[in-house]
Each structure stands twice: as structure tokens, then as C-alpha cells.
Amino acid sequence: AVLAYFINGLNYKRIKKVLKGIRRISQGDLQARVDIKGKDEVGEIAADLNLMAEKLDDMIKLAYRSKIAEKEAMLSALQSQIH
């Protein structure tokens, strides 16, 4: 019974860490990562959450760079019309 209580306590703390990471990411902190290792369900969720945040961050950066390139091309075209 004591061992089960101890294990449940550890899982509770790990789940709380995952929830904290989810909240940070949902608030826009795509640099947030959950530092939980393990092959169990909580460890897998943490790893997938970290991967999701990384991919979202990459996609947003790519879209941002694409918009900048588009604006620079428009600016260049306008400048060439002036000269």
C-alpha cells in the first residue's frame, strides 16, 4: 500500500509538470519543454508535447520568413518601378 501511494505521488507530480508545460505552450511559449523521461504513458505524452511545440515553432518561423521574403520582393518590385 505504501509503494502504491509513493508511485501514485510520483505520477501525480509528473502529470502536473506536463500540465504546466501544456499551459505555457498554449499561452504562446513555444520554447517551453517538459523535462520528463520515461517509456511510460506520461513520458510519451511529455515527449510528444515537446515535439509538437518544436514543430509549431518551426512552422511559425517558416511562415514568418516567407512573409518577410514576400514583402521584400514587393518592395524590390516597387523600387524598380521608381528607378
Structure confidence by residue, pLDDT tens digits, 35-49: 999 999 999 999 999
- pLDDT at position 5 over 70: no
Give the whole-number percent of the chain exceeding pLDDT 70: 93
pLDDT greater than 80 at residue 4: no
pTM for this model (two decimals): 0.76
Residue 27 has pLDDT above 90, yes or no: yes
- Burial (CB < 10 A; 0-12, 13-18, 19+), residue 19, is exposed
Q: How far is CA 14 from CA 6, 11, 41, 69, in A?
A: 13, 5, 11, 42
